[in-house]
Amino acid sequence: MDKELQQIANEVEGLSEKLIALKKEIGKVIIGQDETVSQLLITFLAGGHALLEGVPGLAKTLMIRTLSNAIDLKFKRIQFTPDLMPSDIIGTEILEEDHTTGKKFFKFNKGPIFSNIILADEINRTPPKTQAALLEAMQEFEVTYGDKTYQLDRPFFILATQNPIEQSGTFVLPEAQQDRFLLYIKIGYPTDEEETQILKATTGTKKAKLNKVLSGKDIIRLQQLVREVSISDGLIQYVSDVIRATRPDTTSVDYVKQWVDWGAGPRAGQAMILTAKANALLEGRLAVTLEDLQTVVLPVLRHRVLVNFRADAEGITSDTVTKEILKSVQLRDK
């Protein structure tokens, strides 16, 4: 058993070096945004999908493209527009003719969803019918067209972006679809020093050359190792306490009863544990700590805790509620 653990530890060390190299490659293009990059990598390691929100010009699209350029996987960008149809994403059947027999037949022409990394740019600009075309792919990792089901290549990630400012002509993602995203990542403005570096780096002639430092096999193995990261029963109980505290009917936190309409479901607890395990592995550890859980709790619950109308009017967000919950919920004594 000790030999097996040592072998896993050595494998984790080797893959951790590749993850460090991946961060360095991304850093050639993306200045700052360390927290956002880490959360994207956590999404990859946990085998989920991420929703990124930020105002224009914060390098959301560039960040995802840079990440995909440093990983040896197929990448497709889909620009979501009001006239985009589900078939533009999934694919469609085309009529072809067999030149030897003259017989005509329908052939399924695969759409851009059949890649490893999908950038769904401005996902809230397309109607719900087209947004829903992603649901099966996100949850089941397969696509059904007519009476046939097509498996998607693994690993498979959807990284979607949305702009919080311009709401004219947009379609808010339904809560059921938001819940399919493992993390809801909000990107903030750079610091004074970072902004100066950005201006210097992007207005000259120098262009960074990226190397592919991680393969699809590496990511699949990392996803397997994430599942092997240990977490104590006490920390699992803590996750359960936090999730139950988000629900107005089971919470003991008055703040939640006052400002929340709907709390998080069991999927939030699963996401919290998986992403905490991924965060531990990202830091080269094989056991989850309380700090790992608290690192991921905001992006996990951000789209799963729905505040009421009064909270919206008062400027109280799900993040505000989550922070109040963390003050109230304590790790139980063993």
pLDDT digits (tens, 9 = 90+) for 122-152: 888 888 888 888 877 888 888 888 788 888 8
- Buried b or exposed e, range 187-199, using 16+ CB within 10 angstroms: beebeeeeeeebe
* pLDDT of the residue at 147: 80
Selection from 37, 21, 3, 9 nearest residue 228 by Cα: 9
Q: Give the tens place of pLDDT for each residue, 207-264.
A: 778 888 888 888 999 999 999 899 999 999 999 999 999 999 999 889 999 999 999 9
CA-wise closest residue to 190 among 28, 40, 20, 34 = 34
CA distance 259 to 276: 27
Share of the chain above pLDDT 90, in %: 34
Q: What is the mean pLDDT of residues 89-117?
A: 84
Q: Which two tokens stand for residue 89?
A: 């994403």
Q: Give the Å distances, CA to CA, from 97 to 92, 104, 108.
A: 16, 4, 13
Please state whether the predicted TM-score (pTM) of the whole model is above 0.85.
yes
What does the mean pLDDT of the chain come to? 87
Helix (H, G, I), strand (E, B) or coil at 6: helix
What's 333's DSSP letter?
A: P
Q: What is the pLDDT of residue 285?
A: 87
Alpha helix ranges (H) inside the chain: 2-27, 34-46, 60-69, 86-90, 128-131, 135-140, 175-178, 192-202, 216-228, 233-245, 254-259, 266-282, 290-301, 309-314, 318-328
Question: What's the mean pLDDT in 300-305?
Answer: 94
Q: What pLDDT sits at residue 310?
A: 92
Residues of the chain above pLDDT 70, percent: 96
For CA atoms 214, 218, 219, 225, the dihedral sign is negative
Q: For residue 62, what pLDDT band results from cuts at 50, 70 and 90?
A: confident
Closest CA to 263 of 325, 316, 310: 325
Taking the C-alpha atoms of residue 283 and residue 286, their distance in angstroms, rounded to an integer, is 9
User: pLDDT at position 140, please?
Assistant: 84
What average pLDDT does the segment 293-309 reach? 94
Q: Among candidates 315, 328, 280, 275, which has minimal Cα distance to 297?
A: 275
Show the tokens assigned to 7. 């072998």
Read off the pLDDT band of 168 (50, 70, 90).
Answer: low
Q: Helical H runs in 183-317? A: 192-202, 216-228, 233-245, 254-259, 266-282, 290-301, 309-314
Distance of CA 138 to the CA centre of its chain: 11
Q: Inform me whether the pLDDT recorded for 5 exceeds 70.
A: no
